[in-house]
Amino acid sequence: MIPPVLPTYNRADVAFVRGEGPYLFDETGKRYLDFGAGIAVNALGHAHPYLVSALKAQSEMLWHTSNLYRVPGQESLARRLIELSFADSVFFTNSGAEAMECAIKTARRYHYVNGAPERYRLITFEGAFHGRTLATIAAGGSPKYLEGFGPKVDGFDQVPFGDFEAVKRAAGPHTAGILIEPIQGEYGVRVTPPGFLKRLREFCDASGLLLLLDEVQTGMGRTGRMFAYEDEGMTPDIMALAKGIGGGFPFGACLVTEKAAKGMVAGTHGSTYGGNPLAMAVGNAVLDLMTAPGFLEQVRRTGSHFQQHLAMLLSEYPHVVSEVRGRGLMLGLKLHVPAPAFIAALRERGMLAVGATENLVRLVPPLIVGEEHLREAVEALAATCAGYEAERKAV
């Protein structure tokens, strides 16, 4: 019999009832150190008092009006995101995939209104993940996510990850732009080669193409900068954000330059809920905390300490761990042993982490974790590695 909740997820048999900072508590009262953070979503931990009070205050005033009217929270949050980034304008959505849809539509409309409607194709990269809508599974190109869902949405040309020559070969008279994650999250915290994004920028400028970044996972402080592109010496034309931007409240945003947004005039795009007052109140509160002096420096410092700890795990357990990857607090341990079982064993020990396509444990804790949480995490990781090591020696 089909369960009441459509069984599209392989769920772990645990349900959380409460959260506090980087900790979650299940129905039995057991405490978990949450280094998955709802897949890089709870950037400020669980039940942050400042976010709770912002949401509470807004919830007692107004939940929803409509994009038929001005929404002051959108205007203030958009101004702040513009101030912090390359962008000149923002469209608010309810999720990452919707932010990506807006990004793709913006790129196509740009060429359309410039008299080149044949330029509708985007070059994307193997291992990419951009969401689960029909267009974003086509952009991501994963056969597993495309299978059985009918004709693949046309307009995406995929090339090998980090292969600049392949990008040049794939570009043609139908190309609208290039779409890339600065660090591939879902695939396994795969960082683009140094200088690659800058070369893409130069190539786009020389060829009249738009550069689209999917920073749904890497954005909002995750890598130790507000946006990952800041470490790359370049800026995009269009960028999708979500996950950390709401600290757990569902929303996303598509940031654009004035030039790229040329086609997005009244009537071209919309959303019933996008940018609703509740989301905007939380989003503004999230930014208050993330722009506080020292916040991002702290993320960089914590991230680099965590990376050092993980490098030690690698040297201590070379038969279990094969590689440490990532930047800031977007880190991954590539394993010799199956990651799903490793993550289950970790959970038994009271620590949560997330898997990835490429047999990897993704460590994406709330950005507020301190040294004491790192120590606790490294202890749980080391104990789990030691368990595998003991098993291996016993054989």
Ligand X SMILES: *Cc1c(COP(=O)(O)O)cnc(C)c1O
Q: Which residues bind ligand X (CB under 6 A)?
A: 95-97, 100, 129-131, 181, 185-186, 214, 216-217, 242-243
Q: Which is nearer to ligand X, 22 or 246 (CB)?
A: 246
**Shortest gap between Cβ of 295 and ligand X (angstroms)?**
22
Smallest distance from ligand X to CB 215, Å = 7
| Candidate list 129, 196, 251, 306, residue with the active-site label | 129
Shorter beta-carbon distance to ligand X: residue 96 or 303: 96
Question: Among all residues, whose Cβ is closest to ligand X?
Answer: 96
Q: Which of 92, 243, 249, 334 is catalytic?
A: 243
Nearer to ligand X, 250 or 350 (CB): 250
The identity of residue 4, as a single letter, is P
**Is the alpha carbon torsion for 113, 114, 116, 122 positive or negative?**
negative
Residue 45 has φ and ψ, to the nearest 5°, of 80, -175
CA distance 85 to 107: 19
CA quadruple 196, 198, 201, 206: dihedral sign = negative
Give residues with Cβ within 8 angstroms of 327, minimum separation 6: 183, 191, 223, 224, 228, 231, 303
* SS3 call for 361: strand
Q: Which two structure tokens, joined as six digits, stand for 175?
A: 């190309």
The residue among 145 and 203 lying less far from ligand X, judged by its C-beta, is 145
Whether 243 sits among the annotated catalytic residues: the reply is yes
Nearer to ligand X, 220 or 321 (CB): 220
CB of 343 to ligand X, least distance (A): 18
Sequence-distant (6+) residues with CB within 8 A of 292 are: none
Tokens of 149: 């869902």
Smallest separation (angstroms) from ligand X to the CB of 124:
11
Nearest-approach distance from CB 198 to ligand X, in angstroms: 20
Which residue among the candidates 34, 157, 214, 237 is catalytic per the annotation? Answer: 214
User: H helices of 9-71, where?
Assistant: 37-40, 49-59
Told to judge if 88 belongs to the known catalytic residues of this protein, a careful annotator would answer no
Among 305, 310, 331, smallest CA distance to 320 is for 310
Is 262 marked active-site?
Answer: no
Residues serving a catalytic function are 129, 214, 243
